[in-house]
Each structure stands twice: as structure tokens, then as C-alpha cells.
Structure 1
Amino acid sequence: MPTTPRSHATTALHGLALGDALGSQFFVPANRRALTERLLPPGPWQWTDDTEMACSVHRVLTSHGAIDQDGLATSFAVRHDFDRGYGPATNRMLRLVREGGDWRALAAGLFDGNGSWGNGAAMRVAPLGAWFADDPALAVPQARASAEVTHTHPEAVAGAIAVAVAAAVAAGQPGLRPGHFLDQVIALTPAGLVHAGLVQARRLLTISDPVLAARALGNGRAVSAQDTVPFALWAAARHLDDYEQAFWATATAGGDIDTTCAIVGGVIATRAAPPPSWVERCEPLPAWADVPPEALLRSRS
């Protein structure tokens, strides 16, 4: 079956949702030992705000062929489910947008006018990147536009760009080597802390222990783009063609597990199908997302 931008994006969305949903289970104290032993917790696995926002990115992209910022802001606000684990600043912002607030002013005004440098823009962007598998450079302005709706700080924007480019490269280049993968991401990521972290991640590809890598790169515990994206893309690079191993390597490092696993799952899903038994335990995507459920089971040949 021929692949299309939409099919790439849909597969990435499902991969993101599974990584998010399974990763989120390890915040439950009873499941933490299961993580060290690589045991699956009982289902169903419920996804979080990472997936809910990614569904809006996917829906706007497939409706317009590009990111319409007003449409994306509206979708984020209307679909916002407080119980999905949003951060306080995002909860407040989306509530104010629903009440008629200007998303541009609200996003720019966060954190004393510096904008958020959190990992929220990066966690949701993999489907957008996969859409541009034929030309990763085209993902850059679109990722920037998608980030700015909630995250205006340059590091948050850079994190979104890096993940989008990673998803585009992963979807469009079979037989990809880890170093070449990260080289292409680094080349298109703006200079700054995220970029520097990616350069360090490239140097650390020779090590195999995700805990050691996370000590150097961060694991999302600080919930910033620079503390999240370099490690997530290190894990993706190390396991580009094995969803199961990529998940466990990412989750083992701890930190913001649902977000790091969402990023990794979204980046590699177009080339590495997850185990069907995992898919069966994942909460289905919402009906409003309007995506076929079978997309996650398709892998790149």
C-alpha cells in the first residue's frame, strides 16, 4: 500500500499515543518495579495531554495541509480535558482562550513575558514531522508555527523543530544509520541549548546504557525542551527500527516518561511497528481525531 503524507502522520500519531499511554503507567507506584523488570502493567493504558494535543496537530494539518495557528489554538482549547495531566500554565491559558482570550498574547506573556520553554511543543509534533518525510526542511517552519501557539521561548521552538525533523527523517529514509539520523536533525535545529544537547547526544551514541545517557542529557524531569529532546532523540537514534526496545530504553531512564516515550514512539513508528499486544491495551484515540485505528500496526518495509 503506498504511503502518503497523511498515512505517515497518522502512523506517527498512533506511535506517539502508545508511547505516551504506556509510559504514563509507570508514574503509578505499583508499576515502578515492573519497569525495572520490563514487565507490562495491566491495561487499559490511558494516554495524557501529550496525545490529546497531538491529535489537534494532526487534525489541523490534515484539514489544511499546513498549520493554521488560529485553528490549532481553537482545537487545543475546545478539546482541552483538564484531567489529562496538563501543566498549570497550559490549563490556565487554554481556559482563557476558550473564554475569548488572544492566544498570541497569552502564550507570549507566560513566565514573565519570556514564554514557556517546556517540552509541550516537542511532545506533540511528531505527526507533523512525519507528514514532511519527503523534505524534512519543510517541517521546520511548520513545527515553529505549531509550537508558537503555546510555547514562544526559542528553546521550546527548537525542541519542536528537532522532533519534527527527526520524525520526517525517520519516515523518509529507510536503512538510516543512527549518526546520520542525528546529523540531519542537528543541521536543521536552531542554535541554543537544545542544539548543544543534540550535539552531545550524537557523541554519546557509542554508549548503550540509557541511564548513563540521561545523566548527561537529562530525562525530562525538569520538563524543559533542552532537558527532554536530546535524550529522547538519542534513544530514537539507538533503536530506529525496534519500537519495543526503543520504548524500554527510554522508559528505563525515568523522568518525564510519558513525554519522552511519546516523542520516541512518534518519531520511529513509521518504520518500526510496536507489538500488537501493546496496541490492544492502549486507549483508542478520540473519535474527534478521525484517524483509522489500524495505522499503528503498519511498519515500513
Structure 2
Amino acid sequence: MSFTLFPGTRLALALESLAGLSVGDALGAQYFVPANRPADLIEARTPEAPWPWTDDTEQACCLVATLSEGDFDRDGFAEMLARVYDPYRGYGAGAVTMLREIRDGLPWPIAAAAAFDGQGSCGNGAAMRAAPLGAWHADSLAHAAAQAVRAAEVTHAHPEGIAGGVAVAVAAAVAAAARLHGYKPEPGQLLRAVAAHTPSSVVRDAVVEAASITGGVAEAAYRLGNGARATAQDTVAFALWVAARYLHDYPAAVAACVVSGGDVDTTAAIAGGVVTAYTGLDGIPPSWLSAREPLPSWLAAAGGE
């Protein structure tokens, strides 16, 4: 890419992506409540406000609060995650254990490497928080990918977990760059750009497959997964397929994630963060943004809002 962003522009892009991520997360989480019918969202009927956000948003807020010029500050990110995390926001047991260990003084590389009997986490956690980082680095896909590795490694030592974070960050960088350049990439074009910068992995192979899917949402979810296993492998490619297909239409992207079931808050967070990197805040229905629980006060204190 042939442009350079000023720090204020980077932060504005990251915050807009965070808004889309957090609304998708909060609205998607409402559909774990049995009384809320996914089909209603297609008819523009949403659950009653407020919509609390989950660990997806909390981690993304920590990431945005850590963003600055230069290499991503992994130590600062780990410290913030461990200090502010709320286990009742939907964190998995493994993440709670890891963050508690980091808070108690265990270095994050050791805590991350020890997860899942030494395999490291291949969960979708690094991916669900990564879109704002990609928007921040809209002027360089290669830099977005490299910094996404650093951000993912803090909690995900497994190559697939890292690849998931890279894929989402690159997708958001492509989306934000397209917005700044005034063009809309075709779905396959966006997904092929993501694959070109994602490390060799099951995640990358799934993104390549996603680029070839021209059918509907049901086919994409069937072939790629819908996040039901909460792994990067069965979450990221589908969420990015949705984002690429509905890059101009935030409500349609979130609705596609909701009706597909699975890890709805996370797929909607990923797709929402990428789509809003392209549309800006204007893409989010104002009523949805106001229904989302306010972001944490410490984000503003850290200079992130």
C-alpha cells in the first residue's frame, strides 16, 4: 500500500472497528437467550436493550488501549488483560486460569505455552479481538500480520490460534484500506489477500476455501463451521466469509452470523469489526449502538476513547 497514516487516524480507525466488534458481540450474545429468536433479526426486530458485551469486547478494549507506534507491547497487553478481566464475561476455564496465573506473576510466555497440556490454545480468542489492530495498520498488510502475531502470542501459543488472529487483522486492514482508497473489494479478492498473509495452517486453508464459496450463508457455515467448537479453525474463515460478502452492510453481516448459530457472539464480533473497518460508524444502526452496554471507563482513561 502506498500511504502512511497519522497516529490520530490510526486510532480513529481502530475505535470504529472496536465499535462494530462490540455491537456484534453484544447483540450476538443475546441469542444465547432461548427467548430471542434469530429469525427476528432478519425482520429487523432486536432484543430488548441493554445488550451486555462479553469477553470478546473486553479483550478487544485491552488491545486498543495498548496500541501505539512501534511493535505491539505484549507485556503491557498481558498486564492489562490480567488486571481487568472479569471471569463472568464468558471467559473459558482455560483463559481464566491463564489470566489468573499472569496476574499472580507468571510470565505470559510460560502461561500461554502451558495451556492445554502444553499445546497452547488454538481457540478463537486471538481472532475475536484482532480487527481493531488490523484497522490500525491499514497502510501495511504485512505489518498488520506481523503485529497480529505478537498480539496473539500473549494468550495463544498454538499455531492455529495465532493464524486466526493474523487472518482477522489482515482482513480488517484490507477493509480499512479499501475505505480510505474509495473502493470495495470483491469477496474473493479480500479473502485471497487474507490468505496471502496468513501463516500456513488449517485456518489459512479454510480462508482459501472460503474465497471459492459463491452460495449462501448456510453453505458457508456447513463447509467452514460456525464456531461451535470455539476454535480458530472452525470460526475464522466463516466469519471472514460473512464480512467479505456483506462488507457494505453491517446489519446483514451480523444477521448472517446470528442465523447460522454456533459461537454467535464471536462470529458477529469478528465480522462486525471487519465490516465497520470498511463502513465506519455510519454502518452501525444508531439504535444498535445505543443498545450496546457502554464500553469500560478504563478504556477512555487509557486514551482509547
Q: Which amino acid aligns with 1:281?
A: A
Distance, in Å, in 2 between the alignment partners of 1:149 and 1:97 is 10
Structure 2 counterpart of 1:184: 193
Distance, in Å, in 2 between the alignment partners of 1:66 and 1:104 is 17
1:75-117 residue CA offsets vs partner (Å, 9 max, x unmatched): 0000110110000000011111111112111100111111000
Q: Which amino acid aligns with 1:218?
A: G
Q: TM-score, normalised by structure 1?
A: 0.92
Tell me the CA shift for residue 36 of structure 1.
6.8
Contact 1:38 1:248 in 2 (8 A): no
Q: TM-score, normalised by structure 2?
A: 0.91
1:149-172 residue CA offsets vs partner (Å, 9 max, x unmatched): 000100010010000000000000
Tell me the CA shift for residue 274 of structure 1.
0.9
Matches within 5 A, 1:76-225: 76-173=81-178, 174-204=183-213, 206-207=214-215, 209-225=216-232
Q: Which amino acid aligns with 1:143?
A: A
Tell me the CA shift for residue 49 of structure 1.
0.2
Tell me the CA shift for residue 39 of structure 1.
2.5
Structure 2 counterpart of 1:68: 73
* Percent pairwise identity: 51
Structure 1 counterpart of 2:3: none
Q: CA distance change for structure 1 residues 32 and 76 in 2, over 3 Å: closer, same or farther?
A: same
Identify unmatched segments of 5+ residues in structure 1.
296-301
Moved more, 189-198 or 161-170: 189-198
Tell me the CA shift for residue 43 of structure 1.
0.6
SS at match of 1:105: helix
1:124-169 residue CA offsets vs partner (Å, 9 max, x unmatched): 0100000011111111111001001000100010010000000000
Tell me the CA shift for residue 267 of structure 1.
0.6
Structure 2 counterpart of 1:279: 289
Size of the alignment, in residue pairs?
Answer: 289
Instruction: Please state if 1:267 is matched with 2:274.
Output: yes
Distance, in Å, in 2 between the alignment partners of 1:117 and 1:190 is 14
Q: Which amino acid aligns with 2:210?
A: A
Structure 1 counterpart of 2:37: 32
Contact 2:210 2:238 in 1 (8 A): yes
Moved more, 245-254 or 222-231: 245-254
Structure 2 counterpart of 1:299: none
Distance, in Å, in 2 between the alignment partners of 1:79 and 1:107 is 18
